[in-house]
Amino acid sequence: MKHRISLFSFMTLALLSISLSGCFEDECTSTITYRIWEPVYMETADIRQDISIESARPMQEPGNIYYYQDYLLINERGEGVHIIDNHDPASPQAIGFVKVPGAQNMAVRNGVMYVDNYIDLLALDLSNPAQPSLLNRVEDVFIDNYYYSNFGYIVEYKETEQTETRECASFNDQPVLWENNVLFVDMAFDATAGSVATAANNAVGVGGSMAQFTIAKSHLYVVDDWTLKVFDLAQAEQPELANTVDVGWGIETIFPYGDNLFIGANDGMYIFDNNNPTAPFQLSKFEHAQACDPVFVKGNIAYVTLRDGNQCQNFFNQLDVVDITNLSDPKLLATHQMHNPHGLSVVDDAIYICENDEGVKVFDVTEVDKIGDRLLDQLKGFNAYDVIGLGGLNVAMVIGDDGLYQFDITDRAHPRKLSVLPVQKQ
């Protein structure tokens, strides 16, 4: 598995699975077996030369999902974008793959797909999804997300296992921290930071709740660990970085609704007024325990899932239901315990929550204080990361480690499986 390390998480890279033997006296030796993440470097020229359009290939490590005019775009983490013809959700057809190193997110407006290529933003022509082509590249707009060293940008880490016997004191040659039998090594000490369709003339796709790219009001909004970047799409083929807004820390997801942007972070949900789309500003913040937290909004209710995990630094797994009638003063209405919730979607009176290894759970949301007690159905037997529910099409699309699963949600409470497009691990 490839690990993309952002600026926020770079300083606390963990070395796991440590086994020690020997005596810890004035003189001793230690035999240590551990996994280490070795940096992968890329120079700017290498980042910018490897964009290609390929024939369809199997999914191996799917990430975010995006729906646009009967097509599905599925991110292959750090590799590119799968293009799926989904005119018939019961029989989706993979028709191509756009190879984009570093790709994690994408969004589409008026036939133009925007995708990240490590430090750059790409615009691709998707008017014919079977034959996409590169239109333009906006350089260095994400450069602050990567460290630059003498060997190039550190773009990811690859995991290897090492075993060695050393004198105990020899581990003092670089900054370390022992805590709960885990060795944390600061590997940054020698690094330096590098400098649903609307109107016919504004067709925009639908992203999941785990997305970091979204489009609203003819602008592309991108969140990273601490900022919100605003791109003006007045000239679709030449997106222009119009503004960068400092948000906070641990920023994870973005969800547009009405005239507002809802941003999920490790420590809460930020609500931004977006009436001036080039200059969104913060209205309020709903704080919660530190956790990963995608957001979905419908009406005057925001649904926020909190989960634990290595990067989430949290021991809570729950659904928070927040009243946003007063956007400047959001109020917690209820909290419901969950297994390990990730992405979510609400269609009418049903909420679909991805519960990782427990698939998708469907709850009744008609009474917000009773959601956790009103489990309507559970879709089991696969891993679920994110979901897009489209009430108009009566389809829910679920992505996870096992692949793409699609369900007929004509009966909102009891989805019926339509198709599976599985991963094929090497």
Ranges of each domain in the chain: 7-46+145-193
Q: How far apart are CA 161 and CA 35, in angstroms?
A: 4
For residues 34 and 164, give the distance between their C-alpha atoms in angstroms, rounded to a whole number.
9
CA distances (Å), origin 119, targets 6, 37, 238, 387: 12, 21, 16, 28
Q: Which residues of the chain have pLDDT under 50?
A: 1-25, 169-201
3-state SS, residue 8: helix
Predicted local confidence at residue 166, as pLDDT: 60
Alpha-carbon dihedral sign for residues 262, 263, 269, 270:
negative
pLDDT of 308: 81
Give pLDDT, residue 113.
Answer: 98
What CA–CA distances, in Å, run from 122 to 75, 99, 108, 140? 14, 12, 12, 11
Q: For residue 14, which amino acid is it?
A: A
Which residue, 160, 158, 149, 189, is CA-closest to 173? 189
- Tell how strand 331-337 and strand 344-347 pair up: unpaired
Question: What pTM does this model have?
Answer: 0.82
Please report the beta strands in 50-138, taking only residues with DSSP state E, as ranges in sequence order. Answer: 52-54, 62-68, 71-76, 80-85, 93-99, 106-109, 112-117, 120-125, 133-138
Cα 185 to Cα 36, 232, 311, 364: the distances in Å are: 10, 41, 16, 46
**pLDDT number for residue 289:** 64
